[in-house]
Amino acid sequence: MGTAKKAMFGGLRRWWGILTFLLLIAAWKDSTVGPAVVLALSVVTLLWCAFQAPVACGAPVRGRSDGCRNNAYGLMLGCRQVRQHTFANLRLLFVRRQVREFCKDLFSDGVHVVVTLAGIGSFLSGLVAFVPGIAR
């Protein structure tokens, strides 16, 4: 618990996507902020979730039920310590078309859930900001 917390806050630099996500929520509440700002925040948050968020790699490892615990690079990429893991998620999604398996990974632990929800939230907000008329 103690070490997990330390790792989380020690790596605050890698958690900037949460900050942009909070800014995004603030931007939605503030009616003076234009849709261009909302769209920009949505895009960077979404990119962070997909390619930067420090989630656990989760690639299958023989003898471990919870898979690889190295830090990965976003929901789309795996860790860089093991070469086969780096693109394991993308392969799962696009080559093997195991969408259900991929989606299961998105909710495999607390960090994944937070990042996944931030990703979904920013995607929807970007969509709404992009379509004029819905926003406000």
Minimal distance, residue 99 CB to Zn ion, in Å? 20
Q: Is position 70 an interface residue for Zn ion (rule: CB under 5 A)?
A: yes
Give the distance from CA 46 to its chain's centroid.
7
Q: Is position 112 an interface residue for Zn ion (rule: CB under 5 A)?
A: no
Minimal distance, residue 112 CB to Zn ion, in Å? 14
Give the distance from CA 26 to its chain's centroid.
19
Write each residue from 6 to 45 as x if it is in contact with Zn ion (CB under 5 A), else as -, in one continuous string. ----------------------------------------
What SS3 state is found at 19?
A: helix
| Of the residues 85, 102, 118, 119, which one makes contact with Zn ion according to CB under 5 A | 85
Task: Name 9's Cβ contacts closer than 8 Å, sequence gap at least 6.
Answer: none
What separation in angstroms does the CA of 112 have from each of 3, 36, 50, 66?
18, 28, 11, 13
| Of the residues 50, 59, 76, 77, which one makes contact with Zn ion according to CB under 5 A | 59
d(CA 13, CA 56): 16
| Of the residues 44, 57, 92, 118, which one makes contact with Zn ion according to CB under 5 A | 57
Alpha helices in the chain (DSSP H): 2-10, 16-29, 35-51, 83-86, 88-90, 99-106, 110-130
| Minimum CB distance to Zn ion smaller for 85 or for 112 | 85
Identify which range of 5-13, 62-70, 102-110, 128-136 contacts Zn ion by CB under 5 A: 62-70
Footprint on this chain of Zn ion (rule: CB under 5 A): 57, 59, 68, 70, 78-79, 82, 85
